[in-house]
């Protein structure tokens, strides 16, 4: 049984050793996330090298996503953890040096323009909103605020300023260094943190290599307001519910998640749901029932991929977390009918945007023809991967066998819903690509000779992004 939704795992201290990494792959990991907020270049290089080696060993692709830290505002260096008492007044000092400490008992903040961004009444939320303050006064580089909660504040904890449109660059100097390194390592996806508007993606697009796909992380209120224009430039979006849940009222997050995933599917962008999906499995071998329901609802919302963060990066049970995610996904997909007779098809969904183009019409027709014929799978011949992603957005009941001669596309499609990537290592031709798909299907027990299948492609093959061809073949 082929699982349609894909699983992304963050690699960290708990999963960098080869044995554990291989267990993640065996459990169902489809893509590797390298988090540059916590990974050095040396650690990232080892992770990427290991991903490539293990993928070759198991004979299936692993996508690699480099996640840039972005302009994260944090607490500077505190001499010791600071106990915060509700109702007490504290002073914060904006610093240029992230490693410096505040003077005169002030709490250091690693954002030089902090005081210029704030005014009385604004909120300061630390540590994912666990510790809150309300600004009372601003003098020079110092901000005075009264604590609204109790808590213990630690060095390097993140700061959110909900409702503020900060004047910070989308790419910091650190991001640019990490980006150059990641591109040199040949990563497949770049995830941009704290996206606020489409211009942030345009800036990144000018710096990435052709063929690298960009994921926009939706974690700011501005991004939610500008979602449609962001999706027009992104290859995928991530519902980063950690910071998003601090920026917005928490009851808004499920609504935003559903909207992001719906729009990502309509725009043929990969939709990823992330943050605290199986958080308890950081220390427990089993998920909570609420977490299982959360994962299930993301799948029912139509997410292309689900992502594990601390569960696999620093958790005690990284492989078990992947196994749990895999089990939930397979159960939900069975309920949705992807394993039923494909000839029992439902009316097509009304789509918009790209689905109303020639490419979208061909993809829709190919999916319906597949269902009418009771074909065991779809075959697509693709250079950039766009044809496969367009078919995936139609949510066919059968797997999509995507044949490509491009290694990067082969790896990228490991993160696309319902797609089984197949690498063609010979001269590109229609007959050669079709024969490669046939051999794969027979070798893996997906079909028997004599069955019909539907083939779709963009012609000519070397013009990416155009799906204009459909044909019914007999296996």
Domain containing residue 115: CATH number = 2.40.33.10
pLDDT, tens digit, 9 for 90 and up, residues 279-328:
999 999 999 999 999 999 999 999 999 999 999 999 999 999 999 999 99
Binned at pLDDT 50, 70 and 90, residue 350 comes out as very low
- Known active-site residue 383: no
Q: Considering the candidates 275, 382, 387, 404, report the single residue annotated as catalytic.
A: 275
Among 265, 271, 188, 208, residue whose Cα is nearest residue 237: 271
Task: Return d(Cα 74, Cα 125) in angstroms, integer.
Answer: 11
The token duo for 300 is 């029912």
Report the percentage of the chain scoring pLDDT > 90: 73
Out of 5-9, 90-94, 362-366, 428-432, least confident range: 428-432
- Known active-site residue 217: yes
Q: Considering the candidates 217, 220, 397, 406, report the single residue annotated as catalytic.
A: 217
Considering the domain architecture, whether residues 317 and 188 belong to the same structural domain is answered as yes
| Token pair 């009918």 in the structure block, residue | 337
Q: Is residue 314 part of a domain?
A: yes
Last residue of a domain, one of 128, 160, 192: 160
381 contacts 430 by C-beta, under 8 angstroms: yes
Q: Residue 448's pLDDT is what?
A: 86
Last residue of a domain, one of 336, 362, 388: 336
Considering the domain architecture, whether residues 137 and 186 belong to the same structural domain is answered as no
Contacts of 287 (CB under 8 A, 6+ apart): 278, 280, 281, 295, 321, 324
pLDDT, tens digit, 9 for 90 and up, residues 61-119:
999 999 999 988 889 889 899 999 999 999 999 886 555 555 667 999 988 889 998 99
Considering the domain architecture, whether residues 58 and 80 belong to the same structural domain is answered as no
Q: What is the CATH number of the domain that holds 265?
A: 3.20.20.60
133 contacts 124 by C-beta, under 8 angstroms: yes
Out of 14-28, 192-206, 352-366, 444-458, least confident range: 352-366
pLDDT for 357 beyond 50:
yes
CB-based burial label for 290 (10 Å; 0-12, 13-18, 19+): exposed
Considering the domain architecture, whether residues 112 and 139 belong to the same structural domain is answered as yes
Q: Is residue 416 part of a domain?
A: yes
Task: Return d(Cα 34, Cα 175) in angstroms, integer.
Answer: 13
Considering the domain architecture, whether residues 62 and 91 belong to the same structural domain is answered as no
Q: Is residue 345 part of a domain?
A: no
Q: What is the CATH number of the domain that holds 379?
A: 3.40.1380.20
Q: Residue 101's pLDDT is what?
A: 55
Q: Is residue 370 part of a domain?
A: yes
User: Is the model more confident about 65 or about 425?
Assistant: 65
Considering the domain architecture, whether residues 138 and 204 belong to the same structural domain is answered as no
Q: Residue 211's pLDDT is what?
A: 93
Q: Residue 163's pLDDT is what?
A: 82
Q: What is the dihedral of CA 274, 423, 42, 154, to 10 degrees?
A: 0
pLDDT, tens digit, 9 for 90 and up, residues 155-199:
888 899 988 888 888 899 999 999 999 999 999 999 999 999 999
Task: Return d(Cα 165, Cα 253) in angstroms, integer.
Answer: 19
Q: Considering the candidates 3, 33, 123, 330, report the single residue annotated as catalytic.
A: 33
Q: Residue 228's pLDDT is what?
A: 94
pLDDT for 413 beyond 70:
yes
- Known active-site residue 406: no
Average pLDDT, stretch 376-403?
93
16 contacts 318 by C-beta, under 8 angstroms: no
Q: Is residue 393 part of a domain?
A: yes
The pTM score is: 0.92
- Known active-site residue 275: yes
Task: Return d(Cα 19, Cα 254) in angstroms, integer.
Answer: 36
Considering the domain architecture, whether residues 156 and 203 belong to the same structural domain is answered as no
Q: Which domain holds residue 394?
A: 353-474
Q: Is residue 429 part of a domain?
A: yes
Average pLDDT, stretch 227-256?
93
Strand partners, 401: 379, 420
Considering the domain architecture, whether residues 325 and 399 belong to the same structural domain is answered as no
Q: Considering the candidates 22, 46, 74, 164, report the single residue annotated as catalytic.
A: 74
Q: Is residue 347 part of a domain?
A: no
pLDDT for 346 beyond 70:
no
Last residue of a domain, one of 272, 305, 336: 336
Among 423, 424, 315, residue whose Cα is nearest residue 55: 423
Average pLDDT, stretch 412-441?
93
Considering the domain architecture, whether residues 432 and 319 belong to the same structural domain is answered as no
pLDDT for 439 beyond 80:
yes
The token duo for 261 is 């995933």
Binned at pLDDT 50, 70 and 90, residue 447 comes out as confident
* 81-119: burial string, b at 16+ Cβ within 10 Å, e else: ebebeeeeebbbbbbeeeeeebeeebbbbbbeebbebbe
Mean pLDDT of the chain: 91
Q: Residue 183's pLDDT is what?
A: 98
Considering the domain architecture, whether residues 218 and 321 belong to the same structural domain is answered as yes
Q: Is residue 197 part of a domain?
A: yes
221 contacts 163 by C-beta, under 8 angstroms: yes
Q: Residue 148's pLDDT is what?
A: 96
pLDDT for 461 beyond 90:
no
Q: Residue 99's pLDDT is what?
A: 55
Domain count, the chain: 3
The token duo for 18 is 């080869």
Query: What one-character-per-residue DSSP string does 429-450 give?
Result: -HHHHHHHHHHHHHHTTS--TT
Considering the domain architecture, whether residues 469 and 398 belong to the same structural domain is answered as yes
Question: What is the gyration radius of the CA atoms in the chain, in angstroms?
Answer: 24
Query: What one-character-per-residue DSSP string does 55-76 give?
Result: HHHHTS--EEEEE---S-EEB-
Considering the domain architecture, whether residues 137 and 192 belong to the same structural domain is answered as no
């Amino acid at each position: 049984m082929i699982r349609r939704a894909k699983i992304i795992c963050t690699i960290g201290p708990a999963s960098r050793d080869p044995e554990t990494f291989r267990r993640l792959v065996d459990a169902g990991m489809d893509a590797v996330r390298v988090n540059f907020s916590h990974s050095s270049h040396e650690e990232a290089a080892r992770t990427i090298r290991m991903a490539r080696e293990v993928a070759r060993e198991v004979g299936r692709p692993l996508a690699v996503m480099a996640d840039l830290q972005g302009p994260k505002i944090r607490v500077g260096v505190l001499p010791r953890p600071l106990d915060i008492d509700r109702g007490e007044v504290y002073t914060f000092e904006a610093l240029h040096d992230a490693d410096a400490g505040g003077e005169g008992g002030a709490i250091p903040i690693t954002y030089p323009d902090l005081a210029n961004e704030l005014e009385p009444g604004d909120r300061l939320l630390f540590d994912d909103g666990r510790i809150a303050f309300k600004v009372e006064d601003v003098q020079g580089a110092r901000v005075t605020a009264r604590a609204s909660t109790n808590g213990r504040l630690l060095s390097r904890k993140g700061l959110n300023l909900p409702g503020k449109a900060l004047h910070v660059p989308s790419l910091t100097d650190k991001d640019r260094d990490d980006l150059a390194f990641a591109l040199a390592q040949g990563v497949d996806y770049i995830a941009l943190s704290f996206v606020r508007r489409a211009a942030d993606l345009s800036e990144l697009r000018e710096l990435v290599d052709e063929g690298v796909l960009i994921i926009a992380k939706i974690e700011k209120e501005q991004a939610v307001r500008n979602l449609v224009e962001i999706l027009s430039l992104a290859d995928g979006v991530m519902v980063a519910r950690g910071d998003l849940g601090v920026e917005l009222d928490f009851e808004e997050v499920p609504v935003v998640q559903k909207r992001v995933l719906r729009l990502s599917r309509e725009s043929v962008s990969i939709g990823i749901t992330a943050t605290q999906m199986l958080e308890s499995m950081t220390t427990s071998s089993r998920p909570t029932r609420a977490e299982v329901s959360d994962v299930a609802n993301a799948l029912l919302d139509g997410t292309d991929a689900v992502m594990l963060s601390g569960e696999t990066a620093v958790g005690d049970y990284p492989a078990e977390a992947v196994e749990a995610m895999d089990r939930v996904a397979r159960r939900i997909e069975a309920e949705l009918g992807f394993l039923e007779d494909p000839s029992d098809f439902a009316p097509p969904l009304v789509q918009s945007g790209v689905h109303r183009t020639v490419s979208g019409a061909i993809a829709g027709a190919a999916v319906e023809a597949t269902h009418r014929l009771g074909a065991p799978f779809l075959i697509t011949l693709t250079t950039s991967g766009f044809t496969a992603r367009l078919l995936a957005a139609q949510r066919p009941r059968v797997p999509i066998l995507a044949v490509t001669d491009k290694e990067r596309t082969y790896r990228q499609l490991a993160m696309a819903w319902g797609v089984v990537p197949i690498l063609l290592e010979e001269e590109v031709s229609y007959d050669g690509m079709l024969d490669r798909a046939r051999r794969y299907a027979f070798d893996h027990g997906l079909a028997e000779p004599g069955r019909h299948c539907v083939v779709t492609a963009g012609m000519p093959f070397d013009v990416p992004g155009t799906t204009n061809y459909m044909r019914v073949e007999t296996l």
